[in-house]
């Protein structure tokens, strides 16, 4: 079983905000399937199979800074190996439209990742970072701001480029996956 975590904040007021790119990617990759609320784990979830492997997509309802509280409940209950956890996150330090696959790295100042590392007591999970750029305004206001139409088009293009990512995540080992999605630094900062 694999656990795919899309980071974001619950609530209508946070829909389509930069910080919710993890939620948005899960909606895209699952073709906007209905996620069911799991009150016990404080998350919305959707389950599917890819080539016979069970994939559990979750959107923590804990708010960004406490995402790890939900993630650890799934890991413990389903006995998921930390190496089978994938987190989709926003990244302020990468240009919008760029993405990067990371493994066994620090939190980079991202409070959601910081909380996941704290709860898992490990950094040994895969992260797909999607750039949202940085503006010269208050960070909180920026990440909680909505994408404008130009940015939304760029994000839609990134999602299209990543259309096969989950299939590849299941079928390729970590090195091949990283090589495919971090080709020649093309998608790096």
Active-site annotation, residues: 19
Instruction: List Cα–Cα distances, 143 to 19, 58, 139, 147, 149, in angstroms.
Output: 5, 21, 6, 9, 16
132 CB-side CA count, 13 A: 26
Question: Quick check: 90 and 97 in contact, CB under 8 A?
Answer: no
The whole-angstrom separation of Cα 35 and Cα 8 is 14
Cβ atoms of residues 124 and 82 within 8 Å: yes
| 149-161 helix and 21-29 helix, angle to the nearest 10 degrees | 50
């Amino acid at each position: 079983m694999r656990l795919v975590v899309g980071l974001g904040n619950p609530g209508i007021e946070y829909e389509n905000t930069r910080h919710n790119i993890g939620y948005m990617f899960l909606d895209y990759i699952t073709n906007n399937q209905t996620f069911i609320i799991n009150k016990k784990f404080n998350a919305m979830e959707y389950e599917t199979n890819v080539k016979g492997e069970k994939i559990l997509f979750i959107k923590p309802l804990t708010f960004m800074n406490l995402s790890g509280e939900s993630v650890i409940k799934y890991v413990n209950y389903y006995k998921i190996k930390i190496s089978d956890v994938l987190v989709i996150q926003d990244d302020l330090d990468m240009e919008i439209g760029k993405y990067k696959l990371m493994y066994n790295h620090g939190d980079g100042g991202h409070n959601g990742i910081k909380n996941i590392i704290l709860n898992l007591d490990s950094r040994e999970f895969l992260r797909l970072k999607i750039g949202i750029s940085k503006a010269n305004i208050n960070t909180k206001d920026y990440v909680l701001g909505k994408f404008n139409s130009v940015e939304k088009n760029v994000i839609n293009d990134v999602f299209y480029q990543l259309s096969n990512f989950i299939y590849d995540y299941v079928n390729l080992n970590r090195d091949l996956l990283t090589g495919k999605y971090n080709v020649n630094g093309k998608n790096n900062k």
